[in-house]
Structure 1
């Protein structure tokens, strides 16, 4: 079991502190619970390995609402800059704001007050000293590989119908014969549908887990009057063979992850934990039963709760209608937060941030209160 922590995760958001664009109304900040911590420091010097989530957690009770207290508008959030080690985060207590400045040299080259009023932002090209983005190995497979296949993607998906010399399995540089509509695409991912993903509430199957096998490259399209295409295996993670299905390689999504509450109220449940385990901790990935059609987008933050159990109230007075015990549902208990980083139509991937207890299938994930 992983260690659980109430501090921010060590992942790096590629957003950055931009210049102040006007104060955020106090009512708005209060509505989003963007209060500062009682023990917030006066300043923090950025060091290698810092993240926006970590830094914000030093100042804010809710680390994800840093864009609000930085006064960033949506355009700035969509085009974030980068921070560098050595820059200083100032807590302007009078204004209730965070500001970014550069390190003040020991020889007294700059006035601290000026640094607080006019934060210096690095806008030049990225260098080797820039704070890195999210480590590619952490969530890259969830961005580029078909680990979830929604029901409509299975209908009519191209499939391998034969292999050269009738090999049971094929690997890199082997030929595969594919039947199905390519829709103008020439590069495909190969997957094998796995167990169904059921909505924890409705019990309906809304997708399938998918085992990613590798990629195929079109060598020759089907000739006139035919419907079988010739492919070559470009890469092979696992053995693939007859019956395995294809999906066009999607473009890599934008990776400027900036935390924000969903645009509308979202009530969802944890559907599955990646890796087939029953409990998940910090930095693990789960899927939930809500997606873009339900108001989620990349960067949305949800709060995680253990769903309240239904118990018998043995203390309730017995009704004159019978001696049956009354059933009551206990309140949901908050255990952490979930950062949404990939969104499908009805399913989303989320990265568990700080948690105080293991996350389980069936747990509630909903809009921040």
Structure 2
């Protein structure tokens, strides 16, 4: 996906001190890792229609085969996107991003329902999401073996809580957002996976699905690379990788780092249509630097990756563009 899962990490994380962030890291670098050939899959109109209808049937719980979905380009600032309309499900706003093989669905009726009668328990929301996940697997829209529910991120959408005219409105949770990233031998891939949105009334309210395609096959114990992929033995320890970040990024700018999160993960370069991707030690951070006025200036959040194999390889800038496309209705702030 369009680094949706890397961007999602920004939304799901809060600023942590360096020592606190390190507690979230993988304890050590794997002794053996694979590089995988990856590419962005191209679908024709018929394939997009079939994908959208199958996913929409899971959201609505209804058979939507009576009428053929309409797939057409979006004629506004969101150039390069396709709009999908299903006559039997007019409340669904459906968008397909061809460049990233990503389908986004929002139930606009549920999106507008901002006064839930109850607060759905997180355990119940997870059961609903897991049931939808199982249905996606049954329809062959995902491979369940490629995901790890232990790594699921849970975000929230809240309404209210503001004070107006000396009256404070009650803060209510209206939606859970459960994000699962594609996993390769225990290492997450930033550009592929799914997000399931569950409304407080107990119904699915949104879905994002898709991302980069990985050339691989399932071996006896590991997912094996195919095509141009191969196995590598990392030469860097976790301490060495941390030290490189401190030396080459923090100390080089005479700054103090605020690390939001750090982890080993795969990230497919968005500008490449096909590439061989190796896992990197990825750090999301901001820097505090003193100004001439003896104040502290804080940089915008940045993301950088370091090779696990080559200590001399330059760091990879993974920071998303400043001007992202306008988010759809499933990408709401708050937690």
| TM-score range normalised by the length of the shorter chain | under 0.3
More helix by share: 2
Identify the structure with bigger relative contact order (alpha carbons < 8 Å, sequence gap 6+).
2
TM-score, with length taken from structure 2: 0.24
The structure with the largest alpha-carbon Rg is 1
TM-score, with length taken from structure 1: 0.22
